[in-house]
Structure 1
Amino acid sequence: MDADARTRGLLFLSLAVVGVPGNVAVICAFLSLAYREGRLSPTDAIVLHLASVNLAVVGVRCLLEALASLAVYSVFQDSGCKAVIFLYRTSRSLSIWLTCVLSAFQSLSVAPPGSRWAGVRALLGRHLGLVFLALWLINTSMSVAPLMFAVGARNDSKLSQNAINVEFCFLSFPTRLSRDANGAAQVGRDAVPMALMALASLVLLLFLLRHGRRAKARPGPSAERRAALTVVTLVSLYLLFYGVDNGLWVYTLAAPQTLGSSLVSDLRIFFSSLYAAVSPVVIILSNKRVGQRARDALGRCFTAMNGHGQKNDKT
């Protein structure tokens, strides 16, 4: 194994080590809250769904990429490539849209009671299940290209001149038009929620600035202010990481000589997965109820692992 493959494997493994237990802890914490309190608030339901798709992003792509890079295990044949890239793209886009829904819902929460926007927030909360279903249907249908065009790296004889290197796999488009149309659809799918969540974050920032003096006069930050600050932090991380990812994707489409570059592909996957790995840390640190239960879940997990390891040592 060369040094580049080892470095690459360790980088993706670090994302998996942070993202998998972090998202699992957040999911367990919200499920514990739902069991204890009998229900989840709409905001908590959105964050639970967000943590679930982020777990899929990190587990499906980063963990498998790390294992393949370190020559431990690989599923990247033709069928494996189709499944992994399809699941990754669907989960990744759902992560983006759920962050957008979270920022929109939180920005509506600062609307005065009885106003039109407060009514919109109540309507959205009542029909959140339909929103989730619509997002799944839309993003699944927009991620079908890998099912048709993904090819394992070992089967390079099947590649067309319009193939895009995504490390262990290629997306071999039959024509340049189909390649560019798919790329434009991916960028557009990300640009729309990016614009919407940026607008929602501006509303939240104005709210935070407007109520800054009032919050300073209190002994501690209000729950409403903490929730708004959490959403602004998540959106800022999204704009940073996915902005770099989409910038690299546009660069790939504009510069044909980079289509076969594994370095550009690695950077795109790393930055797009970084949000899924870091976001549970933000959630755990900013939400006291979830944070305590998440830390307890992680503590029980590590205790069980240590106990299992000590048992094996004795045997």
Structure 2
Amino acid sequence: MAGSDVAVGIIFLAQTVVGALGNSSLLLHYLVLYFTGCRVRHTDLILQHLIVANLLTLLCKGVPHTMAAFSLEFSLGDVACKLLFYVNRVSRGVSIGSTCLLSIFQAITISPRDSRWAELKVKAPRYIGSSIFLSYILYMLINIIILMHMTGKWNNTTIISLKDFGYCSSVRHDTTTDSLHAALLTFPDVVCLGLMFWASSSTVLILHRHKQRMQQVHKSSSPRSSPESRATKTILLLVSTFVSLYTLSCISQLCLAVIDNPNLFLLNMAAILSGCFPAISPLLLISRDSSASRFCFSCI
């Protein structure tokens, strides 16, 4: 086994273990709050789905890549490959949708009462559950393409041309068809990124105006930031981290889609980038939430 393979395997293993522990601890934290009857915020429902999506993304991507990097003997048939890539893509999409919804909901929540969002501010919490459900449906329908194209690594190699992804393969088409499929899969993600950028910019502008007003009212005092302000900063940190990492991941995924024979370096880099946000996001949430921090570190 080459030294580079061992290094890549260690990265995958560390990313998967740290991310799985962090997301599992946060999910357990929210379950304890739910079953003990504690009052939770409206954003907690979105965060719960984000955590589940991140956990599935890590497991579906990190475990097989770790085994492949350490040259462990395992084989996946057609059904396993289709299911693994499909669940990974759907959970990745739900993670994008949840982060987008989180940033939009927070921008509406902190908007002033005299703004044009005043009426929507009252109604927004009612639509959180249905919005999350729609994101599941959307990404489950779009990623049906994955079920049609993915196959076992050594299946039908003498009949059709396959693109090797390490432990699975996909049917290779001409460049135009692959580009159209990549555009179809990427379009909802680009829309979500645009909405995230708009919502985050609006949130920063609202916070800046609020800070200016507070400075004028309390020039001599420095009041402690409110829970809403701290939650908003947490969400802005999540969204900015997500947009940065996902942009790099999206570029690597597009390269995989249009290149006929992607090399091992590109495959590993795309997998590492796709697992960065699911592994980092629970650490960001734990560091900003004191109660979650105490609970999660005691679990770990």
Query: Which residue of structure 2 lines up, in the alignment, with residue 221 of structure 1?
Result: 225
Percent identical among aligned pairs is 25
Q: What residue is the counterpart of 1:166 in the other structure?
A: 165
Deviation at 1:243, TM superposition (A): 0.5
The amino acid of 1:197's aligned partner reads M
Structure 2 portions without partners, runs of 5+: none
Number of residue pairs aligned between Structure 1 and Structure 2: 295
- Residues 198, 222 of structure 1: alpha-carbon distance in 2 compared, 3 angstrom cutoff: same
Alignment-mate amino acid for residue 55 of structure 2: L
Pair 167,220 (structure 1): closer, same or farther in 2 beyond 3 Å: farther
Contact 2:234 2:288 in 1 (8 A): yes
Residue 201 of structure 1 contacts residue 235 of structure 1 at CA under 8 Å; is this kept in 2? Answer: yes
- Range moving further from structure 2, 179-188 or 95-104: 179-188
Q: After superposition, what is the alpha-carbon deviation per residue over 1:109-168, rounded to whole angstroms, capped at 9, x for unaligned?
A: 11123654133233231132211211111101111222111123334715755x444332
Q: Structure 1 264/280 Cα, relative in aligned 2: closer, same or farther at 3 Å?
A: same
2:111 & 2:175 partners in 1: Cα distance? 47
Q: Which runs of 5+ in 1 are unaligned?
A: 299-315
- SS of match in other structure, 1:37: coil
What is residue 187 of structure 1 aligned with on the other side?
186
The answer on whether the counterparts of 1:53 and 1:95 sit within 8 Å (CA) in structure 2 is yes
**One-letter amino acid matched to 2:264:** S
8 A contact 1:165–1:261 mirrored in 2: no
Any residues of structure 2 matched to 1:92-103 within 5 Å, and which? 92-103=92-103
Equivalent residues in 2 for 1:12-31, closer than 5 Å:
12-31=12-31
2:246 is aligned with 1:242: yes
Q: Could you tell me whether the CA contact under 8 Å between 2:97 and 2:132 is conserved in 1?
A: no
Q: Secondary structure at the match of 2:151?
A: strand
Which residue of 2 is the match for residue 147 of structure 1? Answer: 147
Q: Deviations over 1:189-245 (max 9, x none)?
A: 211100100111111212333334648943532211111111111111111111011
TM-score, normalization: structure 1? 0.85
Question: Contact (CA 8 Å) 2:64, 2:167: kept in 1 or not?
Answer: no
RMSD of aligned residue pairs (Cα, Å): 2.3
Mapping of residues 103-182 of structure 1, within 5 Å: 103-113=103-113, 115-155=115-155, 157=157, 160-161=160-161, 163-182=162-181
Write out per-residue CA displacement over residues 257-282 of structure 1, whole angstroms, 9 at most, x where no aligned residue: 6x432321221121121000000000
Q: 1:268 to 1:231 in 2, by over 3 A?
A: same
Q: Does the Cα contact within 8 Å between 1:242 and 1:271 map onto a contact in 2?
A: yes
Instruction: State whether residues 256 and 267 of structure 2, in contact with CA within 8 Å, keep that contact through their aligned partners in structure 1.
Output: no
Aligned 8 A contact 1:25 1:297 in 2: yes
Task: Evaluate the alpha carbon distance shift between residue 253 and residue 67 of structure 1 in structure 2; reply closer, same or farther with a 3 A threshold.
Answer: closer
